[in-house]
Structure 1
Amino acid sequence: MSQIEEIPQGAEVSIFSKNEKKARQAIAKLNLKEVKGISRVTFKKRGNQIYAIDNPDVYKSAAGTYIVFGEAKVEDLTQRLQQAQAQAGAEGVEPVAEGATPTDPASITADLQAASISKPEEEEDDNEEVDETGVSAEDVALIIEQTNVSRSKAVKALKKHDNDIVNAIMELSQ
């Protein structure tokens, strides 16, 4: 008589095929690092066709190449859009279930605006004058635009990196 164990509700269970086990063993030998926190991977194809992998196992190489394991399902964006429009038209505004994210355009716009508001960081050096000699005003403006920092911080970062815009932006973006 075989013993059957119950799987707790909400638990993730993976049963690997023989080929997938071999592929995972090969990946383990390549010293790839597992990327945590990815809940969905999508691949877009012509004709608004999308292959989506929910809860994938993602690995990254040192060169920036990604390997994704999971079950790919075909999703058609035009079909999903038509379904959403039909549902919104029939019900007016769709009620949002507890824990779900709202899908109406006004709430999505509000969420995007709230996410784009940058938190004020240390504003200590905003009031002090910074010597801008040897620094291009265009470079400073570009850094301010890309990183949303004060002018003095942008000038200091440019000087620290010998007018290297990329490294200055990278420093201020962290």
Structure 2
Amino acid sequence: MSIEEIPQGADVNVLPKNEKKARELIKKLGLKQIKGITRVTFKQRGNLIYAIDSPDVYRSNAGTYVVFGEAKVDDMNKRIAEAQAAQASQEALAKSAANAAAQDDDKSPEAITADLQKASLLDKSEEAEEEDDGEVDESGLDPKDIDIIVEQTQVPRAKAVKALRAHKGDMVNAIMDLS
């Protein structure tokens, strides 16, 4: 029977000539086939793994095994990375679903009004900060101290002066308060 005569979808193994000879010799040596093994793996240094799916395994009386099948390189690092990526995508989908559900709940007029009020309060606080940026009385404070606070905290000069006054000239506490 040639390969062309095998019906499509049939579960038939076509073995190379050398493998047929090796199997015949193994039967003559008295090795016994072990059924039920679905996968055999061989590990090498550096997490390099060779895997044989659906192997034919033979065992001798001395405990030696002979394995027939197609060995494929199985990269463990790649498997771990794929598993982590799949887990991260599942978590992202779960978060987006939760966010979508939360947004759907806030479509009531009361929630919209509350959101608008929060936004207007934020605008007022920004305006108050802008008012603080004007001229500030720096009398009684060392300009170098103010410059250091501005440099360290990246805040406007008016805020630095205000914090320095609140802490009675103590630079460390003023920087900690603004950080």
TM normalised by structure 1 equals: 0.48
Higher helix share: 2
Structure of larger gyration radius: 2
TM normalised by structure 2 equals: 0.47
